[in-house]
Amino acid sequence: MRIRVYYEDTDCGGIVYHTNYIKYCERARSEVFFRAGALPSSGTCGFVVSTIEAKFLSFARLGDVLEVRTQVQKLGKVQVVLRQRIYKLPGSALDSSPDSIASSEMCIFEAIVRLGYVDVVSQSPAQIPEEFLALLGTLETI
């Protein structure tokens, strides 16, 4: 999923706030379902994040174009582990001089995200529906 960095995403120096990288990953996870015409929940059950291990490798600036890539690390009956990486794509909306444009994409953020599927009413684990497992199974596996 591609994202352009807007003013609202940045601090006064034009650097993306650290929490926004996690939001971008959340959007990408949701988009997997939206593109299939589905919601990432069913009845009273849905995915919840249980842990995130985040690595901030570099940073993005106002006007940059980012791409969030999601890979399945583990797919279980009630739990999913994903690796999500955010890449800064070549070029920038702010500085288009030939010397400043990166010639290749650069990974600037990486997260391992563990999601549980739970019944939010009973607050207990629930089995991930087969159609969700199939949809998640279409993502690249590592």
Q: Which residues are catalytic?
A: 11
Cα–Cα distance for residue pair 119/45, rounded to 1 Å: 4
Q: How many CB atoms lie within 10 A of CB 109?
A: 25
Closest CA to 102 of 121, 86, 83, 88: 88
CA atoms within 13 A on the CB side of 73: 13
For 91, the token pair is 């070029």
Residue matched to tokens 């993005």: 60
Closest CA to 29 of 43, 16, 15, 41: 41
